[in-house]
Chain A
Amino acid sequence: MGTLYNDKTPFTRVFLFTGLALMAVGLIFGLIGGLQYLVPSFLKAQLSFDKIRPLHVSSMVFWIIMAAMGCVLTYIEEHTGRKLYSARLAKVQFGFFLFAILSIFSSYVMRIFGGREYWEFPPMLAIPIILGWILFLINFLLSIRTLKNQPVYVWMWLTGVFFFLFTFLESYLWLIPYFRNNVVNDMTIQWKSYGSIVGSWNMLIYGSSIFFMDKISGDKKYSRSPIAFAIYFLGLFNLMFNWGHHIYTLPTHSFIKHISYAVSMTELLLLGRIIYLWKSSLSTTQKHYHQPGYRFMAAADVWIFLNLILAITMSVPAINIYTHGTHITVAHAMGTTIGINSMILLAMIYDIMANSGRKIIPFKQSLKFGYWLANISLFVFWVALIIVGILKARWQMSVDQEPFGSMMSQLRPFFMIFLGSGTTLAIGFLTVISILLTQKPLSQST
């Protein structure tokens, strides 16, 4: 593993650099949006909230997608011991994505919308994303060549690549009048696709993280074990069927809700396993604690535990009627995208940088500062969102509901904590990102 690929910044690293830049930009958009919660007139003429929210969300979504693609493309080479089937295809794929991202950002700034939540851009701009993804699928399949005797992470990558394409296309079924003519039908299919699309990129990220852990431990047994495949299939089962927990209050088919409630509860098995393996995970953490990349993985482990508890709780319909439509949903989204996805991706980016002839960054001084500041701030941020969510839930369920504006005014102190912790969170991550982006190749740093 890793012997062939010590070349200086092969092209797939460009996905990672672009991803990091998008994360930096997304954090800044997030701060502006947070400030607008408290000072609505802030940049209202230039970057009003209807622009800032999609700019923030798209930056973060594309950070995750670009970095996940970069990790998969890099690790395929390490796994197979061969170059990618086609570096040119990867370059064209990158070109499609870069074109899409720049066009999408420009459309938001010019207030040209037309899509729906999370993909607010005009539907035409989905075309380069689809084309880029098809190239990714082709390159992946031709680089892997066979599924025979493959470890679990290859299956996870395959799942992620295939299901992203399927669910992304599904999210555009609304373009057909049959699907969009009724709001309930439209939202049912919309959230079916959204629920699974997140599971798809999680497959890319978690698959890469298993590859990374194999590499750190030097033990390839786990990724070929029956338990690894059992957990993968449990994840796949949830990706396919648990999306209905987003729409418990929608007057849609009741069987969708029953299926997703039952399927979501199978995640208790994952939670049970984490608790059961807690002690051995702690000793693994101690063993690899000197490795900076592993620190980010250890942080992700804690965030997985916290967010899994939150996710399972929210998936119980009787609890979901309180949490739905409140900031508890946001806390879950932030916990998973920042706490889990971003921490894992940063760990792998660190590993890939170190393997591509760059100076190895020690886990001290500014990196340590950024890491701890980001994690502590994220915890405060997460808790503040949950508290805001509980207060909004109380308002939603109250018999004599006061006006929405009054309720929001009462939440102001928590929005201040949310903004404060969001600011330190951004500082922490920007510190880590700037270290990763400015790390010079070994030949230049000596």
Chain B
Amino acid sequence: MRFDTTITGVFATLLIAFLGYSFYLYADLPQQNGPVSPQVAQGKLLWQQHNCSACHQVYGLGGYLGPDLTNVYSRRGSDFIRGFLQAGVNTMPAFHLSEQDMEALLAYLKNIDQSGNADPRQFIPQTYGHIVQR
């Protein structure tokens, strides 16, 4: 009986802590959140509809066949990305996007680029195993 009460108590405590943590995060999201332009919103949907994450990563999360695209916008520029999307390469199909969709996808990539830097070289390891961003 006492053992049962202890188990229920520990479970309830953890559950409350988890729900508290979850809802705190929902309420206090890490970056300032405002409405995005319809073009960026459309670009995000296109990213998902073409399953870009099958091959590409954003912040190191996604597929492994192609490069990480978090900061491709500032590194390569919109013309380079446009060329890749239109012509395709050996491993990537040519996407026959309309001009409107192309602009939306570029706007989304620009939006991702502005959110931060995904280059792992900019992190400095700390003595206790943590990392800080340069």
**B98: Cβ under 8 A from any A Cβ:** no
Closest residue of A by beta carbon distance from B68: A325
CA separation between A272 and B65, bound complex, in Å? 37
Q: How many A-B residue pairs have CB under 8 A?
A: 169
Q: Assess the B31–A324 pair: CB atoms within 8 A.
A: no
Q: Assess the A54–B51 pair: CB atoms within 8 A.
A: yes
**B74: Cβ under 8 A from any A Cβ:** no
Interchain CB contact (< 8 A) of A54 among B10, B17, B29, B54: B54
Within 8 A of B (CB), among A311-335: 316-322, 324-327, 330
How near does chain A come to B7, taking the closest CB pair, in angstroms? 6
**A215: Cβ under 8 A from any B Cβ:** no
Interchain CB contact (< 8 A) of B4 among A37, A148, A320, A396: A148
Max chain B CB contacts within 10 Å: which of A37, A50, A115, A330? A50
Q: Assess the B14–A233 pair: CB atoms within 8 A.
A: yes
User: Quick one: CB contact mask for B71-108 with A, threshold 8 Å, 1 for yes?
Assistant: 00000000000000000001101000000000000000
Which residues of chain B are near A116, meaning CB under 8 Å? 48, 53
Within 8 A of A (CB), among B110-133: 111-112, 115-118, 120-121, 123, 125-126, 129-131, 133
Which residues of chain A are near B51, meaning CB under 8 Å? 50-51, 53-54, 111, 113, 120
Q: Assess the B53–A114 pair: CB atoms within 8 A.
A: no
Q: Assess the A185–B18 pair: CB atoms within 8 A.
A: no
How near does chain A come to B106, taking the closest CB pair, in angstroms? 15
Within 8 A of B (CB), among A72-102: none
Within 8 A of B (CB), among A209-259: 226, 229, 233, 236-237, 240-241, 246-253, 256-258
How near does chain A come to B119, taking the closest CB pair, in angstroms? 8
Give the total of A residues in contact with B, Cβ under 8 Å: 73
How near does chain B come to A169, taking the closest CB pair, in angstroms? 11
Interchain CB contact (< 8 A) of B58 among A149, A187, A248, A316: A187
Interchain CB contact (< 8 A) of A117 among B44, B61, B117: B61
Instruction: Tell which of A175-183, A356-364, A430-438 binds the partner.
Output: A175-183
Q: Assess the B60–A249 pair: CB atoms within 8 A.
A: yes
Closest residue of B by beta carbon distance from A265: B129
Consensus secondary structure, chain A interface: helix
Q: Assess the A187–B61 pair: CB atoms within 8 A.
A: yes
Given contacts A116-B53, A183-B111, contact A251 B48 (CB under 8 A): no
Q: Assess the A184–B49 pair: CB atoms within 8 A.
A: no
21 A-B interface contacts by CB (under 8 A): A41-B90, A50-B51, A50-B54, A113-B49, A117-B63, A155-B7, A170-B22, A178-B33, A179-B29, A181-B33, A185-B33, A189-B26, A233-B10, A247-B61, A248-B131, A249-B59, A251-B30, A261-B129, A317-B125, A322-B120, A396-B120
Chain A: residues with CB nearer than 8 A to chain B?
A: 36-37, 40-41, 44, 48-51, 53-54, 111, 113-117, 120, 147-149, 155, 170, 173, 177-185, 187-189, 191-192, 226, 229, 233, 236-237, 240-241, 246-253, 256-258, 261, 316-322, 324-327, 330, 396-397, 399, 404
Given A229-B10, A237-B14, A246-B61, 17 other A-B contacts at CB below 8 A? A41-B90, A44-B93, A113-B48, A117-B63, A120-B51, A178-B33, A181-B33, A181-B41, A184-B31, A185-B33, A240-B14, A241-B21, A248-B131, A249-B120, A256-B25, A317-B125, A325-B68
